[in-house]
Amino acid sequence: VEYEWALWVRNFEALLDELYWTSAVVHLETELNGTHTFRWETESGSHSPHQRDLRMRCAWERDGGVLG
């Protein structure tokens, strides 16, 4: 999925656009880029279908390891 992530996000945001929600969280773990947490929120605190105020925030987490 990491090679097609932009397409996945577009499709996921299209799905969110059709739903009622207050927040959405996706956890993505890949071998190449580690673990990411993506959060979608709205300015108003809740989302109704076809409301256009999506915001995405990404937090990158990396498992610690000793490189030798």
List pLDDT tens digits, range 21-58: 998 999 888 888 788 888 888 888 888 998 877 787 77
pLDDT band at 62 (very low <50, low <70, confident <90, very high): low
pLDDT for residue 61: 62
What are 1-22's pLDDT values in tens digits?
A: 767 888 998 999 999 999 999 9
Distant-in-sequence, close-in-space partners of 54: CB < 8 Å, separation ≥ 6? 13, 16, 17, 40, 42, 47
Q: Is pLDDT larger for residue 60 or for residue 32?
A: 32
